[in-house]
Amino acid sequence: MSVEAYAILDGGGVRGAALVGCLKAAAEQGIKFIGYGGTSAGSIVALLANVGYSPEEIRKIMVEEINFHDFLDDAEIKVKRFKELPQNLSKSISKDLVLLRNLDLINELRNNFGFCNGSKLNYFLLRKIQNSPKVENSESSLKEKLKNATDITFQNLKELGCFPLKIVASDVKNHQAVIYPQGSGEEALNYSAIKAVRASVSYPFVFTPIADDDRVLVDGGLSSNLPVFLFQEEQRKNSKPVIAFDLYNQENSKSLQTQQKYEFGQFCADILSTIINSSDDLLRSVTDKVYHVRVPLPANIKTLDFSIDVELRENLFYRGYGATASFLALNLPQWQKATNTIEQLQALHAPPYLVKPTLKTIVREIEETTNLRNCRSYILLPKEENRFAIAYQYNMDEDPDVDWQINVDNKGAWGESWRERKFFLLDANNLKQEPSVWNMTKPQVNKIPKDRKTIATVPIFHWKTITENRE
Most confident of 62-71, 326-335, 390-399: 390-399
CA angle 229, 234, 235 (to 5 degrees): 75
Confidence of residue 20 (pLDDT cuts 50, 70, 90): very high
- Segment 301-305 shows an average pLDDT of 73
**What 3-state class would DSSP assign to 10?**
coil
Residue 380 and residue 270 share a domain: no
Give the C-alpha separation, 144 to 96, whole Å: 57
- Segment 358-371 shows an average pLDDT of 93
Confidence of residue 286 (pLDDT cuts 50, 70, 90): very low
Give the number of residues written for the chain. Answer: 471
Q: Is 82 contained in some domain?
A: no
How many structural domains is the chain composed of?
2
Pairing mode, strands 387-394 and 405-407: antiparallel
Confidence of residue 36 (pLDDT cuts 50, 70, 90): very high
Return the pLDDT at 127.
Answer: 97
**Secondary structure percentages of the chain, helix, strand, coil, to 5:** 50, 20, 30
Residue 271 and residue 403 share a domain: no
Give the C-alpha separation, 20 to 15, whole Å: 10
Q: Which of 169, 170, 184, 164 is nearest to 49 (CA)?
A: 164
Model pTM score: 0.75
Q: Is 46 contained in some domain?
A: yes
Return the pLDDT at 466.
Answer: 46
Q: Is 326 contained in some domain?
A: yes
Least confident of 85-99, 311-325, 398-412: 85-99
Give the C-alpha separation, 338 to 346, whole Å: 8
Return the pLDDT at 161.
Answer: 96
Residue 91 pLDDT > 70: yes
Residue 227 and residue 323 share a domain: yes
Confidence of residue 54 (pLDDT cuts 50, 70, 90): very high
Return the pLDDT at 262.
Answer: 63
Confidence of residue 335 (pLDDT cuts 50, 70, 90): low
Residue 395 and residue 261 share a domain: no
Residue 282 pLDDT > 50: no
- Name the β-bridge partners of 424: 457
306: containing domain: 3-73+116-336
Domain stop point among 302, 336, 370: 336
**Per-residue pLDDT tens over the stretch 396-444:** 999 999 988 888 888 888 888 888 889 999 898 888 888 888 888 888 8
Give the C-alpha separation, 410 to 427, whole Å: 15
Residue 278 pLDDT > 60: no
Return the pLDDT at 70.
Answer: 76
Separate counts of helices (H) and strands (E) for the chain:
21, 13
Q: Is 343 contained in some domain?
A: no
The larger pLDDT score, comparing residue 263 to residue 61, is at 61
Residue 292 and residue 386 share a domain: no
Chain mean pLDDT for the chain = 85
Most confident of 67-81, 192-206, 449-463: 192-206
Return the pLDDT at 1.
Answer: 60
Give the C-alpha separation, 98 to 102, whole Å: 6
Domain stop point among 336, 360, 383: 336
Residue 404 and residue 257 share a domain: no
Q: What is the 3-state secondary structure (H, E, C) of 395-460?
A: CCCCCHHHHCEEECCCCCHHHHHHHHCCCEEEEHHHHHHCHHHHCCCHHHHHCCCCCCCEEEECCC
User: 299: domain CATH number?
Assistant: 3.40.1090.10
Residue 304 and residue 396 share a domain: no
- Segment 182-203 shows an average pLDDT of 94
The larger pLDDT score, comparing residue 283 to residue 457, is at 457
Residue 302 and residue 366 share a domain: no
- Segment 331-350 shows an average pLDDT of 73
**Per-residue pLDDT tens over the stretch 126-161:** 999 999 999 999 999 999 999 999 999 999 999 999
Q: Is 379 contained in some domain?
A: yes
**Residue 26 · residue 9 · CB < 8 Å:** no
Q: Is 93 contained in some domain?
A: no
Q: Is 105 contained in some domain?
A: no
Residue 180 pLDDT > 70: yes
Residue 190 and residue 305 share a domain: yes
**Per-residue pLDDT tens over the stretch 203-217:** 888 889 999 889 999
Residue 124 and residue 46 share a domain: yes
Residue 50 and residue 18 share a domain: yes
Return the pLDDT at 265.
Answer: 58
Give the C-alpha separation, 396 to 82, whole Å: 69
**Residue 20 · residue 65 · CB < 8 Å:** no
Active-site positions? Answer: 40, 219
Return the pLDDT at 256.
Answer: 47
Residue 237 and residue 385 share a domain: no
Question: DSSP H helical segments within 190-262, as ranges?
Answer: 193-200, 232-238, 253-258
- Segment 377-392 shows an average pLDDT of 86
Give the C-alpha separation, 379 to 388, whole Å: 10
Q: Is 324 contained in some domain?
A: yes
| % of the chain beyond a pLDDT of 90 | 44
Domain stop point among 313, 336, 359: 336
**Per-residue pLDDT tens over the stretch 218-269:** 988 888 888 999 998 888 788 788 999 999 887 654 444 455 566 665 666 6
